[in-house]
Amino acid sequence: SQTIHQWPATLVQPVGSPLSLECTVEGTSNPNLYWYRQAAGRGLQLLFYSVGIGQISSEVPQNLSASRPQDRQFILSSKKLLLSDSGFYLCAWSTTSGRFINEQFFGPGTRLTVL
Amino acid sequence: AQSVTQLGSHVSVSEGALVLLRCNYSSSVPPYLFWYVQYPNQGLQLLLKYTTGATLVKGINGFEAEFKKSETSFHLTKPSAHMSDAAEYFCAVSDWRRGGADGLTFGKGTHLIIQP
C-alpha cells in the first residue's frame, strides 16, 4: 500500500531563517506531487505541483521554492522566512486518469510558526 | 475556470440528527468530485468521490453524496451524526486544466459542530 510521510511535524523558526520541509511517498512510482498551505481558518492554497523529477510548477509567486530530486521526494524550501509563511503545510500525491486528476492522498502535515 | 462553493463556514447539528453539508461547483466539463475530512492538526482524508456512473456515491463513516448535474451540486449527507464526526470538511473538484497535473480545486471548508 502507499504511504506518504512529512517531516518535521512541527517547526518554529525566526523571521529571516531558511526552511526545508520534506515529503516522501512510498508504494507508488511517478506520482504527481503537490505542496499546499493552509492558513489558520482558511482553505487550502496550492503552492507547487510536480509531474516528474525536476519538473516543478508554481501556482503563486512567493518566497518559497520546491524541488523534486527523486521520483518520490518533494522538498519545500525558503531562503528567508516571512511572518506570513506561518501555516500548516500539506504534501499530497495523486495519479492521473486520462484527462483528469484522480483523488489526492495527503500527508500528516507540518505546522510552521514563524516568529 | 473551475470553482467550488461550500455554503456555511460552520454547521451545527445535534447528535443523531441529519448532517447536510452543501457544495456547488462550476466546471467547463463534467468533473470529478471529492469530499475530504480533516481532523485538527491532521492531513485530509478522502471520504468519497464521484467520477462517472452512479450519481449517488457512498463513502466511509456512513457518509454519502449525490452528484446533481442540473444543479451543479455535490452535497454531503449522513443520516445520523456522531460526536466523532466533528471536523472540517472540504469539497473539491477536478477537471482538465491547462493540460497539466494541476491540483484539485478546494472549497473553503465547512466546520461541522456536533451538539450533544
How many CB atoms within 10 Å of residue A11? 16
Contacts of B106 in chain A (CB under 8 A): 43-44
Low-confidence ranges of chain A (pLDDT < 50): none
CA–CA min distance B77, chain A (Å)? 20
Give the number of residues written for chain B. Answer: 116
Residue A110 per-residue DSSP state:
E
Interatomic CA distance for residues B35 and B73, integer angstroms: 12
Closest-CA distance, A79 to chain B, in angstroms, reads: 25
The confidence score (pLDDT) of residue A10 equals 96
Confidence (pLDDT) at A2: 87
Instruction: Cell numbers for A26, please give them.
Output: 512510498
Three cell numbers, residue A11: 517547526
| pLDDT tens-digit map of B25-50 | 987 777 889 999 999 889 999 999 99
Question: With contacts defined as CB-CB under 8 Å, which chain B residues touch A51?
Answer: 100-101
- CA-based torsion, A45, B5, B78, B67: positive or negative: negative
Report the distance separating Cα A71 and Cα A80, nearest Å: 27
Question: At a CB cut-off of 8 Å and minimum separation 6, what does B60 contact?
Answer: B47, B48
As a whole number, the mean pLDDT across chain B is: 90
User: Chain B residues with CB inside 8 Å of A57's CB?
Assistant: 100
What distance in Å separates the CA atoms of residue B107 and residue B5, rounded to the nearest whole number? 6
- The residues facing B36 across adjacent strands are B46, B90
The pLDDT of residue B31 is 82
Is residue B106 within 8 angstroms of chain A, CB to CB? yes
Q: Is A77 exposed, middle or buried (0-12, 13-18, 19+ CB in 10 A)?
A: middle
pLDDT of residue A97: 67
List, for chain B, all residue ranges whose pLDDT scores fall below the cut of 70.
1, 95-102
Q: Could you report the per-residue pLDDT of A16-40, keeping only the tens digit for each?
A: 999 999 999 999 988 999 999 998 7
Contact at CB, B49 and A108, closer than 8 angstroms: no
Three-state DSSP class for A85? helix
Tell me what pLDDT residue A95 has: 80
